[in-house]
Amino acid sequence: MRFRWESAVTRRCVAALALVSLFILPAAPPAAAYQPSPVPDRVILNWTEDPSTGFSVTWRTNETTRKAFAEIVPAEDDTGFDKKAQRVNALTAAYETDAGRASSHRVTFRGLMPDTLYAYRVGDGAIWSEWNQLRTASAKPEPLTFVYFGDVQIKIHSLWSRVVRQAYSMAPEARFMVFAGDLINRREVDREWGEWHEAGGWIFRLVPSFPAVGNHEYGSSKQLTPNWRAQFTPPSNGVPGLEGTNYYMDIQGLRMIALNSNLKQKEQAEWLDRLLANNPNRWTAVAFHHPIYSTRRGRDNPELRETWQPVFDKYGVDLVLQGHDHTYGRTNLQTSGKVRSARAGTIYVVSMSGAKMYTLGHSKVFARTAEDTQLFQIVRIQGDTLRFECRTASGALYDAFTLQKRSGKPNKLTNQIPATLERVRANRQ
């Protein structure tokens, strides 16, 4: 009896402490934890238009750092490799957020050797980051893996961190990470970007990011967050006026394209038509935020669909990766029916990786759906075969399919959906 009494008391004490903690313990580190300093932080990579010969690195310091550099050298096993490093001056710009002023620094390395492991670091000549390593892409089609994340948005520190880390643990060979917009919730809150960088940590220093911009990066002000161009340096090859948010790269047989679904949709359709008319790659994937086929009840984007989908049909775009609707939906091969093309037929995916969840709608369009589930996706390409895996935060397989290239015909789709119930609310009541 004494043991039971003590256990009951203990349980009541623990419960009381837990209740108190809701009011006195922060859900995430305070904003002060993400203040800039002279030490480089928020170090992140982007590929150039040709990832076999170049990449960009972007980082932040406080505004006292007015001159910065990056150093690069082919990686070697001895400890004296750094003496051979080449130093490159950074482009430095001041920017301001609700956390105050900071300095953004960026360097684009060009003229690198394909399929070569490089070591790089960033700093001001006295205070440096650690040496990080990145292998350039092959100059020819080779097996390729990348990871795709839907919206992050909220509870980044507490819940999204496990998703990006699980994804890396399951696909450490990934050459880049696609983000389908809404990386944060409030464009004007720098702390959320601090949480995003903290969650990705050193992964962002090893695996280049390929971000598409969402509506939450614009917010109600319709102005792009100052953090976007301060921390990403993607290729500058898109529609003028959309620098940093509309671009493409060619990597190992894949043309990977980022579109900005918030602005200039018609101009991007014309740009995309020209871009895909001369595409030497076997595979084509496109990432943007607002879905062609919405998964959320009460939502639809008819103007976007009518503007962009005919271009996807015309050139046989293989895969479209989207966010915004905070549920999961994946179609079979889908066409608009407005363009006659022997290769038409695209897989459209909407996904979410963060903790903000909505209700499903339009489920008849999709082969597999989910609600209330944090997910990430691994895409593996080898020759004429593309393998897509959707996995939960714990790494469990939730959806999968294979696409097989066929000359002059649509891809052959093989669904490989696991024999588990869809994670929708009707199945969990």
Write the pLDDT tens digit of every residue in 140-158.
Answer: 999 999 999 999 999 999 9
Cα(246)–Cα(272) distance, integer angstroms: 10
The pLDDT of residue 11 is above 50: no
pLDDT tens digits for 232-249?
A: 999 999 999 999 999 999
Mean pLDDT (whole number) for 253-269? 98
pLDDT value of residue 32: 81
Structure tokens, 332: 């079979």
pLDDT at residue number 297: 81
CATH class of 32-135: mainly beta
Instruction: Give pTM, 2 decimals.
Output: 0.92
Q: What is the pLDDT of residue 281?
A: 98
CATH tag, 144-427: 3.60.21.10
- Residue range 121-141: mean pLDDT, rounded: 98
Q: Check pLDDT > 50 for residue 374.
A: yes
| Whether the predicted pLDDT of 396 surpasses 50 | yes
State pLDDT tens for residues 281-330. Answer: 999 999 999 999 999 988 999 999 999 999 999 999 999 999 999 999 99
Does the pLDDT value for residue 227 go beyond 70?
Answer: yes
Question: Can you give the pLDDT at residue 28?
Answer: 66
* pLDDT computed for residue 152 by the predictor: 98
> What is the pLDDT, as a whole number, of residue 2?
34
Which of 16-30, 204-218, 413-427 holds the top average pLDDT? 204-218
Q: What is the pLDDT of residue 20?
A: 38
CB 212 within 8 A of CB 180: yes
Rounded to 10 degrees, the C-alpha dihedral 80/84/89/91 comes to -70
Give the pLDDT score at 343.
83
CA distance 260 to 84: 41
Domain boundaries, the chain: 32-135, 144-427
pLDDT at 197 over 80: yes
**pLDDT surpassing 50 at residue 17:** no
